């Protein structure tokens, strides 16, 4: 193992575990997004949409390899580390299964957006190398713009769609926030990172509350961008 990585870079074992947990969560999120986009492509109304979603799915799975490599460098089994997050992701997707093309679009946009915001918040407390890897993994490849264009066009064609999708967006927000809170609470190292229980500075309870307020505000911005009431 190169001398520049664990334990030299991360002498604090709790911090190292937190980094592994976060990278594993982001990595499994990319795998999950790939699967969901591939499924959404089957519901796409046009060949153009199918191809677009296929390309977005390919971009998502391509982001897994750098994470796998970094997890390996840190001495973790990357697939075992990512597998630990399967149940949480699957539970969220089971409770938020879309009924049609429109709900699938909004789910990907709202659910992934909130998850990415959550990871960006945590990334602020990471070492530069890990932070850069996380932020690069969360970069949008054009999917958000695609969703906004399609949903706004759909609402323009059928204004009744707006009410249903607004309700759907609120439900997704509730489920996603619950899952984010559960992840932060269930993973001891991530909890310690947020609370400042590692070598890195953390957040007190009030700051954690403000973090979730920011997540909610960004959700409202996304819903407004879709032309939906929050």
pLDDT for res 100 = 92
| Alpha carbons 183 and 141: distance in angstroms, whole number | 26
DSSP class of 126: S
pLDDT for res 204 = 61
Give 195-226 pLDDT, tens digit per residue: 665 655 555 667 777 888 888 899 899 999 99
Backbone angles phi, psi at 199, to 5 degrees: -70, -10
Whether the CB-CB separation of 57 and 38 falls below 8 Å is answered with yes
Whether the CB-CB separation of 120 and 195 falls below 8 Å is answered with no
Domain range 13-226, CATH architecture: Up-down Bundle (1.20)
Other CB atoms within 10 Å distance of the CB of residue 161: 16
Give 142-173 pLDDT, tens digit per residue: 889 999 999 999 999 999 999 999 999 999 98
Q: Break the chain down into helix, strand, coil percent, rounded to 5.
A: 75, 0, 25
Nearest 5°: CA angle at 85, between 80 and 88? 155
DSSP class of 159: T
| Alpha carbons 89 and 71: distance in angstroms, whole number | 20
Average per-residue pLDDT in the chain?
Answer: 85
pTM reported for the whole predicted model: 0.85
Q: Is the torsion defined by CA of 75, 77, 79, 84 positive or negative?
A: negative
Q: Tokens representing 188?
A: 């001891």
Nearest 5°: CA angle at 69, between 84 and 80? 20
Q: Is 196 buried (19+), middle (13-18) or exposed (0-12) by CB count in 10 A?
A: middle
Stretches in the chain below the pLDDT threshold 70:
1-9, 184, 195-205, 230
| Alpha carbons 159 and 190: distance in angstroms, whole number | 43
């Amino acid at each position: 193992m190169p001398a520049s990585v664990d334990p030299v870079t991360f002498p604090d074992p709790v911090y190292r575990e937190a980094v592994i947990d976060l990278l594993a969560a982001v990595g499994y999120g990319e795998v999950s997004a790939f699967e969901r986009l591939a499924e959404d492509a089957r519901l796409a109304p046009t060949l153009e949409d199918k191809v677009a979603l296929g390309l977005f799915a390919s971009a998502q799975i391509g982001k897994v390899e750098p994470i796998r490599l970094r997890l390996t460098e840190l001495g973790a089994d990357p697939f075992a580390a990512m597998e630990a997050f399967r149940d949480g992701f699957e539970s969220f997707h089971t409770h938020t299964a879309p009924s049609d093309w429109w709900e699938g679009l909004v789910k990907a946009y709202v659910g992934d957006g909130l998850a990415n915001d959550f990871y960006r918040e945590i990334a602020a407390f990471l070492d530069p190398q890990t932070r850069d890897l996380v932020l690069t993994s969360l970069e949008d490849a054009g999917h958000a713009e695609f969703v906004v264009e399609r949903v706004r066009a759909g609402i323009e064609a059928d204004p009744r769609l707006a009410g249903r999708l607004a309700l759907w967006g609120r439900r997704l927000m509730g489920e996603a926030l619950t899952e984010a809170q559960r992840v932060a609470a269930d993973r001891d190292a991530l909890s310690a990172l947020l609370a400042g229980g590692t070598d890195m500075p953390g957040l007190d309870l009030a700051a954690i509350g403000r973090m979730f307020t920011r997540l909610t505000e960004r959700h409202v911005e996304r819903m407004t961008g879709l032309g939906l009431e929050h």
